[in-house]
Chain A
């Protein structure tokens, strides 16, 4: 799949933003006034910024509002509805926390659930697609949710939770890569079933239908950068999980220095998750590539 910057920015930032919103909804950290304002500003900035980035990959962004209608069948529509609901509920909750020093806990729990629900619906947009075996796995929502929770804990300064959640997210990441690498082969789909000619012998793509490129090849048959996949995976693991964990485990009592380390941990995590997300798209094999003999 073409690793479009808009969708990588969207899933990375929104995942982190909604993860932080989930923790804030649970009252972690229990802050109010200006401190709360800064936390909510970061969370809303990431979540909304990501959602806005997502609209850049639309052919007709001015019609994006029409996407709220088909929540009965469409995960993309459900995601839009969940995102707006989460942002509205958390917005109301934020007003209470920041300006009135009131923590309406039921509203917060609802907002936290909707925030994680939004991340889940995002992951289902990808996990539902049978055409991309590497995404069509239970580990896809597990990965999106565990990344969101780990990043949220990190941003919310919940060191103890962050350590546990980063370990879980890292483990899910490894499991996702292991299962994903075998997904296309295990799907049973190959050039033989694609053409229906497999029972007659070995099928080879002899001539493509066009000499130039087209939408299908650009969107679904991305092959650039696969040769660096192993290195990029190490970078994703190192920046996303190992470095933040190491920084969290450094014994530190100076408050300024502790915050500085936390900032570095967050930035490293962000770089790692963005790298992992780039691989998520770049390595995903759409079965339409079989018709072009490109798998």
Chain B
């Protein structure tokens, strides 16, 4: 059924810290690595070593430059994957029922054996979170690593999405955003977590933490700076004589 559940028991999702992300793309690679050999069809590449390589990815990192009215421009790395929206338009447009949102945890998934590859779900997604796999002819999207987070064969520390486990900067957080007491909900509340394109009415579960303002160099470079001022401006005594003698040479 492609009707959306009225409510979900939990709202599992990601919180992505734009202040911390260093733009290393490790999450992109680990996502592709895990998801190409686990849940569903592999993430194929076309012409990977040729002149025009292309492939299916579930997570991509953009970089933006923001120029404030005054001050320096800021570079912001911006990972983007499925936001597991509460009001997911990609689910309701699906003609076959392949696209669905789970009522137990809110994860949006594709049942690949029902997908006809019409692409309408990707058309309806404002975030570009879905990509049609050219080899398999079915729609691929972030599963929130549904095959990791409940997988009791993995050590507990690994039961998070692959991108979160990999991020060397700690810029990605995973948890239940429907529980106001969860660590991710606290993070969102403290840092003013935001939605992407809220005007689209998709009610994304994933939140983005805005970059903090950069430190400013005001009048003083450092509180220790006065202590570093040169102490002997004019040489005296033996040093003064040596200085003069060397000048005359």
Chain A interfacial positions (CB closer than 8 Å to B): 1, 57-61, 63-64, 66-70, 72-77, 80, 125, 128-132, 187-189, 191, 193-197, 200-210, 212-216, 219-220, 286-288, 291-292
- Taking A80-B95, A200-B68, A203-B64 as contacts, is the C-beta distance between A195 and B78 under 8 angstroms? yes
- Stretch from B118-126, B217-225, B227-235 forming part of the interface with A: B118-126
CB distance from A177 to the nearest CB of B (A): 21
A188 touches B3 (CB 8 A): no
Q: B12 within 8 Å of A by Cβ?
A: no
CB distance from A31 to the nearest CB of B (A): 36
Which chain A residues border B137 with CB–CB below 8 Å? Answer: 58-60
10 A–B contacts from the bound complex (CB under 8 Å):
A59-B118, A73-B2, A74-B95, A187-B199, A196-B208, A197-B211, A201-B74, A209-B61, A215-B134, A219-B132
* Alpha-carbon separation in the docked complex, A69 to B111 (Å): 14
B195 touches A196 (CB 8 A): yes
B64 touches A205 (CB 8 A): yes
Which chain A residues border B2 with CB–CB below 8 Å? Answer: 70, 72-74
* Alpha-carbon separation in the docked complex, A210 to B53 (Å): 10
- Taking A203-B66, A291-B62 as contacts, is the C-beta distance between A70 and B95 under 8 angstroms? yes
Complex: chain A residue closest to B73, CB-CB: A201
- Taking A58-B117, A206-B64 as contacts, is the C-beta distance between A69 and B210 under 8 angstroms? no
* Alpha-carbon separation in the docked complex, A200 to B213 (Å): 10
B200 touches A215 (CB 8 A): no
* Alpha-carbon separation in the docked complex, A292 to B60 (Å): 11
Within 8 A of A (CB), among B45-88: 52-57, 60-69, 73-76, 78, 80
Which chain A residues border B57 with CB–CB below 8 Å? Answer: 210, 214
The 6 residue pairs across chains A and B that have the minimum distance between CB atoms: A59-B117, A59-B137, A209-B60, A201-B68, A77-B95, A288-B128
Cβ-neighbour of A214 out of B54, B65, B125, B196 (below 8 A): B54
Complex: chain A residue closest to B213, CB-CB: A200
* Alpha-carbon separation in the docked complex, A220 to B62 (Å): 17
B127 touches A288 (CB 8 A): yes
Q: B198 within 8 Å of A by Cβ?
A: yes
Residue among A125, A206, A208 with the highest chain B CB neighbour number at 10 A: A206
Which chain A residues border B115 with CB–CB below 8 Å? Answer: 59-60, 63
Which chain B residues border A201 with CB–CB below 8 Å? Answer: 66-69, 73-74
B198 touches A193 (CB 8 A): yes
Cβ-neighbour of B66 out of A59, A69, A202, A215 (below 8 A): A202
Cβ-neighbour of B124 out of A129, A187, A188, A203 (below 8 A): A129
* Alpha-carbon separation in the docked complex, A61 to B131 (Å): 18
A130 touches B89 (CB 8 A): yes
B123 touches A286 (CB 8 A): yes
Residue among B1, B98, B138, B197 with the highest chain A CB neighbour number at 10 A: B197
Which chain B residues border A213 with CB–CB below 8 Å? Answer: 52, 54
Cβ-neighbour of B75 out of A64, A206, A288 (below 8 A): A206
Which chain B residues border A64 with CB–CB below 8 Å? Answer: 116
**B118-154 interface code vs A (CB 8 A; 1 in, 0 out):** 1110111111100111101111000000000000000
A216 touches B131 (CB 8 A): yes
Which chain A residues border B3 with CB–CB below 8 Å? Answer: 72-73
CB distance from A219 to the nearest CB of B (A): 7
